[in-house]
Amino acid sequence: MSTDERAAGQPTGPSLDHLEVVAFRKLLNTLAIPDDEERMNTDLGPIDAANRIVDRLDRLEQELEREREARKRAEELAEDALAMSKQIDDGRRPDGGPSKKEVAMRISRDEVIVRTAEGKNAGARNAAGKRADRIGSVSNSEVQSMARPQHDLYWQSVDDAWNELVSSFDAFYIDDSGEEKRLTVNPELLDGSLVRTVERSVGRSDLAKRLVGDAETDGGR
């Protein structure tokens, strides 16, 4: 068989090795240039394509690192916010601020005392023409409303605060005769130290004089 005959019997076209090289170069270009339109207009050699791939991997690694750091910061902030919102065992917040119960106690105490002082001789007149006293009181929902927006109090927090006030001061008691129970006070049982504490809390100086007869002393009580 002649050389021409042997050549005629062999398949024509590119060899398998050449096809593999073309496929490999196409893969390199795809990895190096993810944008289809840009890739159609760019023909990189294997070395340039490999360098671009390395650069892309470096950038991706940097982006992933930034995302990991951002996620870590977000998780730390979330943990801090959760810790700040929770009460610890002694009822104080981790930042040293007042607990929800303490906020509710202060608002309830101050409001009842102030309303009682302002209601002195402000009620209806009796047959002799003397005005009665209007005793101050406050409801649970009113306390929650007055606490906003600085504090978001729950019903139970206010209820716990009232129980604490009633157990700590003889003057306070809970009136549940109406549709909504209210914290109120017996003015006859108020003492000067309690009223002056409220004066300092609300920035007034006339409450003790109205309720216990003396702004500087216990006024006999």
**Percent of the chain having pLDDT more than 90?**
30
- Under CATH, what is the fold of the domain 100-211? Arc Repressor Mutant, subunit A (1.10.10)
pLDDT digit string (tens) for 33-45?
A: 665 555 555 666 6
User: Do the strands 137-139 and 182-185 form a parallel or antiparallel pair, or are they unpaired?
Assistant: antiparallel
Check whether 133 has a pLDDT greater than 90: no
% of residues, the chain, pLDDT over 70: 58
Mark residue 199 as left, alpha or beta (left: phi above 0; alpha: psi -120 to 50; beta: remaining): alpha
Residue 126's pLDDT band, with cuts at 50, 70 and 90, is: low
For 174, which DSSP code? E
- Residues 208, 192: contact at Cβ < 8 Å? yes
The answer to whether the bond into 187 is cis (omega within 30° of 0) is: no
For the chain, what are the domain ranges? 14-85, 100-211
Mean pLDDT of 77-90: 51
Strand segments (E) across 46-186: 137-139, 172-175, 182-185
Q: How far apart are CA 120 and CA 100, in angstroms?
A: 31
pLDDT at 80 over 80: no
User: What are the residue ranges of helices labelled H in 176-216?
Assistant: 192-202, 207-211
Number of DSSP helices (H) and strands (E) in the chain, helices first: 9, 3
The DSSP letter of residue 11 is P
Residue that wins the pLDDT comparison between 108 and 78: 108
